[in-house]
């Protein structure tokens, strides 16, 4: 009878942990670049049930295996690409294909798929006050003007006025002189896109940031990876699936709690009423 306490209590704890994961996914359904988590569970301390004779204990026969505890095994992250949303904001970026943005934080370089950037007071491209965006030269990117475009390789191009071009003959004071303004693209840097050999070694931190000890490989324009300007990658969370999983976990948690109360009542009767006989 005591085994029921192990089964039910461990089940309640496991379902509570699952609900924590599901609720975190639902909270971040509108977070750009968010990757959903999934928790798996396993049984713990499996034992073999054996049948023996009442008087003769020879030749026992195996019946089945049983486990006393269900526990969380691991929480893994789904890195599948989310859908894209057109925002028309000049500081919004999304990565098509494999790749991560590099962010310079106080704790070191961190990586993210969240491209909802802005500029700080000094004109540097940053992520929500968490750190500055690094360029291909591993230096923060400064954009002092809003008159720029970004290509699929991450190059930030600014149209600047070139020197005025005068037409006419040198030394000819009578010739009419006209001034033409020519423009040429000037680069303010390239947003660095990197990828890793083993995504399972990425450590998920707060605010959509990831850390790893792996060496980063630059993937700008390689293997179909491209930067998409004025767009954001939406979270890869299916709200319907998360709602279904949440309801299932809540019912399992409530059922285990009710059964645990029944066990407690039976044990109270066994220790009080039956003990008087």
Residue 53 lies in a domain: no
The residue segments making up the domain with residue 179 are: 84-233
Q: What is the pLDDT of residue 177?
A: 46
Q: How far apart are CA 94 and CA 83, in angstroms?
A: 10
Q: What is the pLDDT of residue 196?
A: 96
Longest dimension (CA), the chain: 130
Q: Are residues 204 and 220 in the same domain?
A: yes
Residue 54 lies in a domain: no
Q: Are residues 71 and 88 in the same domain?
A: no
Contacts 24+ apart (CB under 8 A), 195-204: 195/98, 195/99, 195/100, 195/219, 195/225, 196/100, 199/77, 199/79, 200/76, 202/77, 202/111, 204/35, 204/37, 204/77
Residue 267 lies in a domain: yes
Summarize pLDDT for 25-75 with one digit per residue, the tens. 999 999 999 999 999 988 776 666 666 666 666 777 776 666 677 888 889
Task: Determine if the pTM surpasses 0.75.
Answer: yes
Q: What is the pLDDT of residue 229?
A: 96
Q: Are residues 203 and 257 in the same domain?
A: no
Q: What is the pLDDT of residue 270?
A: 75
Q: Are residues 92 and 190 in the same domain?
A: yes
Q: Are residues 93 and 121 in the same domain?
A: yes
Summarize pLDDT for 170-181 with one digit per residue, the tens. 455 554 544 445
Q: How confident is residue 165, by pLDDT bands cut at 50, 70 and 90? A: very low
Q: What is the pLDDT of residue 180?
A: 47
Residue 87: is its pLDDT beyond 50?
yes
pLDDT higher at 101 or 183? 101
CA atoms within 13 A on the CB side of 25: 26
Q: Are residues 32 and 93 in the same domain?
A: no
Residue 175 lies in a domain: yes
Q: Are residues 96 and 33 in the same domain?
A: no
Contacts 24+ apart (CB under 8 A), 264-273: 266/1, 267/1, 270/1
Q: What is the pLDDT of residue 189?
A: 94
Residue 35 lies in a domain: yes
pLDDT higher at 49 or 9? 9
Residue 125 lies in a domain: yes
Q: How far apart are CA 216 and CA 195, in angstroms?
A: 6
Residue 79: is its pLDDT beyond 50?
yes
Q: What is the pLDDT of residue 59?
A: 72
Q: Phi/psi of residue 124, each to 5°?
A: -85, 140
Q: Are residues 91 and 197 in the same domain?
A: yes
Number of domains making up the chain: 2
Summarize pLDDT for 207-238 with one digit per residue, the tens. 999 999 999 999 998 888 999 999 999 999 99
Average per-residue pLDDT in the chain?
85
Q: Are residues 7 and 90 in the same domain?
A: no
Residue 50 lies in a domain: no
Residue 155: is its pLDDT beyond 70?
yes
Q: What is the mean pLDDT of residues 245-256?
A: 92
Residue 213 lies in a domain: yes
Q: What is the pLDDT of residue 51?
A: 62
Residue 163: is its pLDDT beyond 60?
no
């Amino acid at each position: 009878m005591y085994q029921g306490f192990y089964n039910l209590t461990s089940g309640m704890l496991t379902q509570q942990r699952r609900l924590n994961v599901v609720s975190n996914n639902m909270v971040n359904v509108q977070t750009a670049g968010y990757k959903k988590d999934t928790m798996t569970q396993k049984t713990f301390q499996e034992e073999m049930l054996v049948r023996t004779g009442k008087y003769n204990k020879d030749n026992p026969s195996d019946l089945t295996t049983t486990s006393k505890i269900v526990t969380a095994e691991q929480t893994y992250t789904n890195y599948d690409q989310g859908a894209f949303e057109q925002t028309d904001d000049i500081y919004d970026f999304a990565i098509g294909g494999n790749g991560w943005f590099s962010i310079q934080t106080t704790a070191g370089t961190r990586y993210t798929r969240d491209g909802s950037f802005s500029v700080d007071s000094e004109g540097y491209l940053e992520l929500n006050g968490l750190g500055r965006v690094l360029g291909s030269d591993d230096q923060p990117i400064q954009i002092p003007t809003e008159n720029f475009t970004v290509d699929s390789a991450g190059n930030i191009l600014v149209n600047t006025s070139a020197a005025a071009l005068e037409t006419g003959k040198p030394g000819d004071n009578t010739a009419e002189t006209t001034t033409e303004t020519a423009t040429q693209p000037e680069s303010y840097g390239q947003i660095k896109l990197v990828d890793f050999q083993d995504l399972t070694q990425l450590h998920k931190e707060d605010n959509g940031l990831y850390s790893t000890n792996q060496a980063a490989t630059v993937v700008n324009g390689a293997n179909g990876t491209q930067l998409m300007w004025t767009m954001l990658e939406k979270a890869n969370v299916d709200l319907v699936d998360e709602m279904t999983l949440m309801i299932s976990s809540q019912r399992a948690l409530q059922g285990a709690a009710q059964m645990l109360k029944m066990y407690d009542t039976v044990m109270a009767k066994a220790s009080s009423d039956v003990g008087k006989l």
